[in-house]
Every structure is written in structure tokens, then in C-alpha cells.
């Protein structure tokens, strides 16, 4: 499409054309894999043993969680996904791998770590409300040998992909070895080339280098910038601090009900973009950050300007928080959300 044709497109037309371009775009995802286990039920009484509700179970389900949820989102949007990370040598790891492969995700870089169980988050939900969450996990950096093996496998698939997502939950999958790999690829990385998008987590802030975009939420940005963020203006100031600290091209800060701010020091890009939230109802914020990560990266990989990529991600986040539990947005859902916004 020519530059002149692009100028004539409305914002919604640009966003819809990006969604069309998602199909079969290859993305590499690396991060902390989790299995989300849901126990659904109803509450009709209080336990006689303690002042807690009794949940009568009606259904149980399992879904990809953590970095695996980002992969699920990418697939639902039409992307071709290559996934790298670790699972345990257990039934939960096997269940997660089966879920991913059934979605058509390439798991050649998914490695079994016999020293650590698969991270499982069990959420008990009654009457559309989360009653309790139970986590089973072992937090700690993977062994050096496994870290090296992961980097080798990632290096093999990088040439087949157009962007990398790093979904860091600080469980141990994201290590210095990964960024050593990015050091080797440094000349090939960046906006307009091969974007690397990182969803950060303390205490790993000092690890990140060679990133194109780093996407903290309000709390993460406040901690990393060592300042409070009560407003968008403060978020922009924090973003400017983090651009210098992390040496990336773009910082995208998600602010919940206050929308998002995008801050950049890259030539040719707006220095700031402010985006209002599109969420009309908020039932559950679980997985919203993972959805933003997926949509934003996929849009960049298809040639979107960062502002449009953030707008699309914002629409997707508005859809996710209106649902109970972690869900993956489809391309059809996202297209409908853009069209509704124009009515």
C-alpha cells in the first residue's frame, strides 16, 4: 500500500487492516509457562468448621497460563507461534504441552526441567467471582545448562519469525543467557526490523537489554522508575526515566482504568501517545497484560506504527477484563470491538 493510500485510511480502517495481516505471522515467544486450573462452582452455605464459604463444584477446566497464555492469544489472533520455556516432568507439564500442541503451537523449544514442577495456578470461582487462588510452583533460575539449551533452540527458530515476545513472570525461565543471545543478534533487532517486546517483572529489571519495547504495568513502572504514578503525566515522566534505564526504543505503560501511555525516543516516532481505556465492564483483570503483550507485538510484526499497535492492544484488553478467568481474544472479537467503537 502506498504512503498516500495509508494517509487516506481512517484509524479504524488502519486497525482492521492490521488484524487482517495477523494471519500466519510467525512470532517467537519465550517466558514462564504456567497451567491455569479452574474450579467452577456455587456457594449456598458457610462451613460449620470455619467462617469460610463452601463451594459446590460444578465444573473444572484447564487453560494455558502465564507466557503460555500469550501464546494462546497469538494463535487465536491468527499468528503462527513458536514457543520456548520450561515445564516440569509431571502430569501438569504434559497437560500444558498437549493444550499448546492442540492449538497448533510449535513446542520444539519447550524443555522439560526435572528439577522443578510445572507452575499451576488453581482458581476457585463461584457466581462469577474468584473465591481463592492456590499456587503450586518452585521459583528460581533454571540451571545454566538448561538456560544454554533454551538459547540454542531459540536461535534455531528466530530466523523463521518476525518478532520475539519475552513474557517474564520472574519464575526462572528468563535469564542472562537469553540476553546474551540477543547481544549476538543486536544488529538485526529493533523497530522496523525484528522487534523484541518484554513484559517485565521485578527483580529482573536489570537483565533487560536489546529490547525494542518494554511494557510494564503501573506498579511495575513505579517500582522500576522509583516514583509514584497517580496520573498519566506521572506515567509519561516514569516512561522517560525507563527509556534511559533500559535503553529501549519504546516504553508502553498500562494504567488500568486510565488507559495506556506510550513513550518513545526513537527518531520518526511520536514522543508520547496517550490512549483511553475501552473497557466498559471489569469483572476480572487476569491475563489482561498477556493479551496486550500478544496484540502489541503481533501488530508491530505486521508493520504497525506503535500508536496503532497500542490502540489495538487496548481494545483487546477491554474485551479480556469483561470476562471471568483468563481468556484469549480472537481476531473476530477484536475486529468487532474496533467496529463497535465507530458506532
Question: In this structure, what are the phi and psi dihedrals at residue 3, rounded to the nearest 5 degrees?
Answer: -60, -40
13-50 burial by CB neighbour count: b if 16+ within 10 A, else e?
ebbbbbbebbeebbbbbbbbbbbbbbbbbeeeeeeeee
Q: Is 290 a catalytic residue?
A: yes
Identified catalytic residue from 32, 168, 284, 290: 290
Q: How far apart are CA 107 and CA 29, in angstroms?
A: 10
**Where do the H-state alpha helices sit in the chain?**
3-8, 11-21, 67-76, 91-102, 144-157, 176-184, 218-225, 232-246, 288-301, 306-320, 331-341
89: its cell numbers: 516432568
Tell me the helices (H) and strands (E) count for the chain, helix number first. 11, 13
Q: How far apart are CA 88 and CA 9, in angstroms?
A: 48
Q: How far apart are CA 178 and CA 150, in angstroms?
A: 8
Q: Which residues are catalytic?
A: 290
Amino acid at each position: 500500500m502506498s504512503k498516500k493510500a495509508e494517509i487516506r485510511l481512517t484509524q479504524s480502517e488502519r486497525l482492521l487492516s492490521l488484524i487482517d495481516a495477523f494471519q500466519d505471522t510467525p512470532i517467537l515467544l519465550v517466558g514462564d509457562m504456567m497451567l491455569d486450573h479452574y474450579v467452577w462452582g456455587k456457594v449456598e452455605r458457610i462451613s460449620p468448621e470455619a467462617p469460610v464459604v463452601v463451594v459446590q463444584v460444578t465444573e473444572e477446566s484447564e487453560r494455558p497460563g502465564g507466557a503460555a497464555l500469550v501464546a494462546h492469544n497469538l494463535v487465536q489472533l491468527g499468528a503462527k507461534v513458536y514457543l520456548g520455556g520450561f515445564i516440569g516432568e509431571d502430569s501438569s507439564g504434559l497437560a500444558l504441552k498437549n493444550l499448546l500442541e492442540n492449538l497448533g503451537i510449535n513446542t520444539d523449544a519447550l524443555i522439560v526441567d526435572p528439577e522443578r514442577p510445572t507452575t499451576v495456578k488453581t482458581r476457585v470461582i463461584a457466581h462469577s467471582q474468584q473465591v481463592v487462588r492456590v499456587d503450586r510452583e518452585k521459583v528460581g533460575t533454571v540451571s545454566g545448562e538448561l538456560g544454554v539449551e533454551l538459547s540454542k533452540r531459540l536461535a534455531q527458530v528466530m530466523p523463521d519469525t518476525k518478532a520475539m515476545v519475552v513474557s517474564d513472570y520472574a519464575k526462572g525461565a528468563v535469564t542472562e543467557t537469553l540476553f546474551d543471545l540477543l547481544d549476538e543478534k543486536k544488529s538485526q533487532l529493533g523497530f522496523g526490523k525484528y522487534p523484541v517486546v518484554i513484559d517485565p517483572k521485578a527483580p529482573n529489571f536489570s537483565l533487560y537489554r536489546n529490547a525494542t519495547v518494554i511494557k510494564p504495568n503501573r506498579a511495575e513502572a513505579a517500582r522500576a522508575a522509583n516514583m509514584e504514578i497517580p496520573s498519566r503525566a506521572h506515567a509519561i515522566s516514569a516512561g522517560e526515566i525507563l527509556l534511559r534505564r533500559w535503553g529501549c526504543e519504546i516504553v508502553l505503560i498500562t494504567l488500568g482504568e486510565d488507559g495506556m501511555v506510550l513513550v518513545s525516543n526513537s527518531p520518526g516516532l511520536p514522543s508520547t501517545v496517550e490512549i483511553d481505556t475501552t473497557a466498559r465492564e471489569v469483572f476480572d483483570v487476569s491475563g489482561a497484560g498477556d493479551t496486550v503483550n500478544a496484540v502489541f507485538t503481533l501488530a508491530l510484526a505486521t508493520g504497525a506504527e506503535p500508536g496503532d499497535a497500542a490502540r489495538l492492544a487496548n481494545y483487546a484488553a477491554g474485551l479480556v477484563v469483561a470476562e471471568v478467568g483468563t481468556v484469549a481474544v480472537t481476531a473476530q472479537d477484536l475486529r468487532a470491538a474496533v467496529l463497535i467503537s465507530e458506532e
